[in-house]
Chain A
């Protein structure tokens, strides 16, 4: 599908979605509460068929966090980027680890590095960081660690 067709289709699924163009891929902004339902539709819909989540990450904009999902379709080879601005103070979004299994590990990484709470995640605990690092969120911009951090 071309970007225009994708836009029309996704507007049909979620009228509240807003679009950004001009980047490499079509970017779709969604509210955290709408994400879970849309994700299921993106994966299941026969004409969209986004079955491959190739990147899941988070960006700290100092005032708020933004979740970024890069999706690819192995059938149609179209790509989209989904962004969701999380509520400041209590960053939470529903998990997609049952829709794309790769999200399980990636969400655990974002949870420990950024402190995003993935609701209904089956196994949300530290993956890379050692025990005792709960709640420290090292990838946030205001994180300071005088012992482990070497400033370059």
Chain B
């Protein structure tokens, strides 16, 4: 189904990948210049799912705008909501009850695992292994069930609100999370047996798509793509928010800089998230789940910026307030947008078949890029 769409002056062929292509996991359009099998250039064309969320937010109140942010990076919707709630709280200067803080962090880490699980299955599927997808979804399903019970939704949760969380956790929450931890620990070895140790998989991943630490920083890469190159960039460690400074977990760093390093960062990160959940699940403090806030929120005149670590990297919310009930300007710094900009640099000189592996390790979520 590959069709030539043009030729460069040097005689290289230009082809389309996407916007409807199973490996792009969404509507991403790449125009690729190839010479034989070797990629010369990759040019992303974005905007197929652009909804101008930033413009939309300018007419939404500080309670309402959080709901649209779930629609950006839908696999990290809790963490997006969390960033917005924190940013509004920074302006309001409200103290969050400790119960709400713990629930928020628990939800964030469950989301991170769910997101990495989906990526793991889809990544293996990109390389032609279909079975891992079902293994990943088996565990992910139980996280979605936990979310459904407490938040009432499985994908766009909208659970975090300025001041805390929307409602208290379900009575079954703790038991089900512990069940999930048991399930995860009994199955995690399968991941390595199925995929990580597979020699075909390793041959396709190792030494492919090298990204140097300097380039990772210069391109603004964050999250696993940067940590796979050995760049320390975990916002939870560097600029701790909520209660992350009181928790014990490691920032996962790999030094390979190739697709396999990025793969290993995510797989190892899931274990760290389990570690955080284990520390908190029996220690949810009693008390309120939401601080008392006014019905209509007004942020003082000024600028507020909140950085958080989503499953894909650094997510930033920049609110410019003029003192009214709606933000004057909102900018969402999405991790996928910057990570994608490094793709062209990574793939140059590689073979066409490796492009899919590299896109897989960037873990692109298209609505997060287009916003």
**What is the minimal beta-carbon distance from A118 to any residue of chain B, in angstroms?**
15
CB pair A52–B220 under 8 Å, yes or no, is yes
B108: Cβ under 8 A from any A Cβ = no
Residues on A with beta carbons closer than 8 Å to the beta carbon of B329: 59-60
Task: Provide the main secondary structure of the chain B interface.
Answer: mixed
Residues on B with beta carbons closer than 8 Å to the beta carbon of A54: 220, 222, 307, 314, 316, 333
Residues on A with beta carbons closer than 8 Å to the beta carbon of B304: 24
B50: Cβ under 8 A from any A Cβ = yes
Q: Which of B44, B231, B329, B342 has the most CB of A within 10 A?
A: B329
Measured CA separation A139–B342 after assembly (Å): 26
**What is the minimal beta-carbon distance from A56 to any residue of chain B, in angstroms?**
9
With A51-B217, A52-B220, A74-B231 as known contacts, state yes or no: A129 contacts B316, CB within 8 Å: no
User: What's the A-B contact tally at a CB cutoff of 8 Å?
Assistant: 79
Measured CA separation A59–B320 after assembly (Å): 9
Give residues 64-85 of A contacting B (CB, 8 Å): 68, 70, 74, 77
A residues with CB within 8 A of B: 23-25, 51-55, 57, 59-60, 68, 70, 74, 77, 100-102, 104-106, 127-130, 138-139, 151-152
Task: Provide the main secondary structure of the chain A interface.
Answer: loop
Measured CA separation A53–B302 after assembly (Å): 21
Convert B166-180 into 0s and 1s, putting 1 for each residue whose CB lies closer than 8 angstroms to a CB of A: 000000000000000
Closest partner residue, chain B, to A70 (CB atom): B305
Measured CA separation A60–B341 after assembly (Å): 25
CB pair B47–A152 under 8 Å, yes or no, is no
With A59-B320, A70-B305, A102-B220 known, 20 other A-B pairs at CB within 8 A are A24-B303, A51-B218, A52-B217, A53-B220, A55-B305, A70-B316, A74-B232, A74-B233, A101-B218, A101-B219, A101-B342, A102-B218, A102-B219, A102-B338, A105-B338, A128-B47, A128-B50, A128-B370, A139-B54, A139-B55
Residues on B with beta carbons closer than 8 Å to the beta carbon of A70: 305, 316, 318
Instruction: Please tell me which one of the listed residues B55, B232, B316 contacts residue A138 in the complex, with CB atoms under 8 A apart.
Output: B55
Count class of interface residues, chain B:
35 or more
B331: Cβ under 8 A from any A Cβ = yes
Measured CA separation A138–B222 after assembly (Å): 28
Residues on A with beta carbons closer than 8 Å to the beta carbon of B59: 151-152
Measured CA separation A55–B238 after assembly (Å): 17
CB pair B217–A74 under 8 Å, yes or no, is yes
B60: Cβ under 8 A from any A Cβ = yes
CB pair A105–B341 under 8 Å, yes or no, is yes
**What is the minimal beta-carbon distance from B159 to any residue of chain A, in angstroms?**
22
B337: Cβ under 8 A from any A Cβ = yes
Residues on B with beta carbons closer than 8 Å to the beta carbon of A138: 52, 55
CB pair B303–A104 under 8 Å, yes or no, is no
B56: Cβ under 8 A from any A Cβ = yes
- Top 10 A-B pairs ranked by shortest CB distance? A102-B220, A128-B47, A57-B331, A105-B341, A101-B218, A55-B333, A128-B46, A101-B219, A59-B329, A128-B50
CB pair B305–A24 under 8 Å, yes or no, is yes
B37: Cβ under 8 A from any A Cβ = no
Measured CA separation A53–B232 after assembly (Å): 15
B148: Cβ under 8 A from any A Cβ = no
